[in-house]
Amino acid sequence: MRRGRRPDGRTIGTISTTLTDTHLEAQALAREFAAGEIAPHAADWNARKHVPVDVMRRMGELGLLAPTIPEEYGGPGLDATSLCLIVEEIARADAGIAVPIAVQAGLVASPLLRAGTDAQKDEWLPRLATGEVMGCYALTEPDAGSDTAALRTRAEADGDGWRITGSKQWISNGSIAEVFIIFARTGGEGARGVSAFVAGGGDGLVVGPEIPKLGLHTSSTVELAFDGMPVPAGAMLGPEGEGLKLALATLDGGRITVAAQACGIAQAAIDLAVEYASGRDAFGGPIARFQGVQFPIADVAAQLEAARLLTLHAASLRDAGQPHGAAGAKAKLVASAVAVKAADVAVQTLGGYGYSGEYAAERLYRDAKITEIYEGTSQIQRLVIARDLFGDAAR
């Protein structure tokens, strides 16, 4: 990537490869933190399925946990491009530790900034910025994943407030969250009956055990149950009945951070494959001299650069206030596929060692797959892209 200051103005539709000094400083800080505070412990944490909340709070103290929260609310006030650079560096050390950043900044702070009242912003954003509280985004349900308009959780009017009843599944940060972005039905069926709420936990909230999963063992993923949990009238986030619009707008930005996470996984896999192949001797020298080893790594290295450019392009559109839904979908579709392929190449390069827990290759292989699934499967990304291309003809 070309390094330097971003020129004034930009041409929408082209891919910018220029980073500002602020971007580079954020990237360097994240890289230093990841190398010193995360990478040395990643193997142990993953083996124990340990969620290191203390590390997340330290990221908050440094402005790395929710970097897009404005300075007026105690955050660094960085842009989406900086967020992507930070997420990639943290994911390069441990993909699970990147999840709280994507959730805190992209799924919790973002809808608050977009639709929150002054009181809601003042109450939550300063605490989210520093890591004093962790947040989660409660949208997905057992029978409502890609089909978000089918969600069944209900919010019934109760005096001046509401009572929420229902369940949510696959909730990242769920067991460590102290503030919840909750989507519940306040009206009839379909998208227009859904509203959003922001609330702390309370009576009627049941947090399930950690869900066993293939990878991301350093992140929390649980089911949440709401048994008439009371929330005050002031907890509604945005207008009644506009919750699903807010949810989808939030996911448009969230997909960009998942793409950045995927880039970090892919880079870690390439780093590992190159290091191993350069040091592993066979048939009279390092295996890195064989084209059968070189070419798969070269392929994914080139594909990673393309994915990274797509990701930064989508982030630059978001920073410019331009439509970025299709660009984010393209970035996530390509970057997640590269992460899976790069992890596969790393395992294959290491051979038997790649299949063992002695090296990080098998962890990267497990961690990569989720990037093709959460915040919209690859099939959903293709649907978003197709609808952008075809318009009403694709519906």
Q: Is the pLDDT of residue 118 over 50?
A: yes
Residues of the chain above pLDDT 70, percent: 96
User: Which residue has tokens 């780093």?
Assistant: 271
Boundary-marking domain end, from 244, 276, 305: 244
pLDDT for position 3 = 36
pLDDT for position 228 = 94
Q: Same domain, yes or no, for 214 and 73? A: no
Strands 161-172 and 205-207: unpaired
Q: Same domain, yes or no, for 254 and 385? A: yes
Nearest to 207 by CA among 168, 153, 156, 164: 168
Q: What is the 3-state secondary structure (H, E, C) of 99-152?
A: HHHHHHHHHHHHHHHHHCCHHHHHHHHHHHHHCCCCEEEECCECCECCCHHHCC
For residue 147, what pLDDT band results from cuts at 50, 70 and 90? confident
Q: Same domain, yes or no, for 104 and 234? A: no
- The secondary structure element, H or E, covering residue 229 is strand 221-231
Q: What is the mean pLDDT of residues 212-229?
A: 96
Q: Is the pLDDT of residue 7 over 80?
A: no
Boundary-marking domain end, from 244, 276, 311: 244
What is the rounded distance in angstroms from the CA atom of residue 47 to the CA atom of residue 235? Answer: 39
Query: What is the pTM (predicted TM-score) of this model?
Result: 0.92
Boundary-marking domain end, from 244, 262, 281: 244
Q: Same domain, yes or no, for 149 and 200? A: yes
- Residue 363: inside a domain: yes
For residue 17, what pLDDT band results from cuts at 50, 70 and 90? low
* CATH number, position 93: 1.10.540.10
What is the rounded distance in angstroms from the CA atom of residue 142 to the CA atom of residue 146? Answer: 11
Q: What is the mean pLDDT of residues 59-87?
A: 96
* Token pair belonging to 126: 């300063």
- Residue 15: inside a domain: no
pLDDT digits (tens, 9 = 90+) for 308-356: 999 999 999 999 999 999 999 999 999 999 999 999 999 999 999 999 9
Give the range of the structural domain holding residue 225, as residue numbers without chain letter. Answer: 136-244
Q: Same domain, yes or no, for 312 and 221? A: no
* CATH number, position 193: 2.40.110.10
- Residue 13: inside a domain: no
Q: Which amino acid makes up residue 356?
A: S
Q: Same domain, yes or no, for 225 and 278? A: no
pLDDT for position 36 = 97
* Token pair belonging to 78: 């960085």
pLDDT for position 363 = 97
Q: Is the pLDDT of residue 12 over 80?
A: no
- Residue 8: inside a domain: no
Q: What is the mean pLDDT of residues 15-41?
A: 91
pLDDT digits (tens, 9 = 90+) for 199-220: 998 899 999 999 999 999 999 9
Please list, in sequence order, all residues whose beta carbon lies within 8 angstroms of the beta carbon of residue 119, skipping any fewer than 6 positions away: 234
- Residue 250: inside a domain: yes
| Active-site residue, selected from the candidate residues 141, 223, 362, 375 | 375
For residue 189, what pLDDT band results from cuts at 50, 70 and 90? confident
Q: Same domain, yes or no, for 195 and 270? A: no
* CATH number, position 306: 1.20.140.10
More confident residue, 17 or 357: 357
For residue 9, what pLDDT band results from cuts at 50, 70 and 90? very low
Q: Same domain, yes or no, for 125 and 145? A: no
Structural domain count, the chain:
3
Q: Same domain, yes or no, for 204 and 309? A: no
375 an active-site residue? yes
For residue 384, what pLDDT band results from cuts at 50, 70 and 90? very high
Please list, in sequence order, all residues whose beta carbon lies within 8 angstroms of the beta carbon of residue 189, skipping any fewer than 6 positions away: none
Q: What is the mean pLDDT of residues 4-11?
A: 36
Q: Same domain, yes or no, for 103 and 144? A: no
CA distances from 31 to 3, 8, 28, 297, 365 (A): 16, 28, 5, 23, 22
Q: Is the pLDDT of residue 247 over 80?
A: yes
- Residue 280: inside a domain: yes
- Residue 175: inside a domain: yes
- Residue 2: inside a domain: no
Q: What is the mean pLDDT of residues 14-20?
A: 68
Q: Other C-beta atoms within 10 Å of 184: how many?
A: 27
Q: Same domain, yes or no, for 277 and 333? A: yes
pLDDT for position 10 = 35
Q: Same domain, yes or no, for 37 and 150? A: no
Q: Is the pLDDT of residue 6 over 80?
A: no
Residues of the chain above pLDDT 90, percent: 86
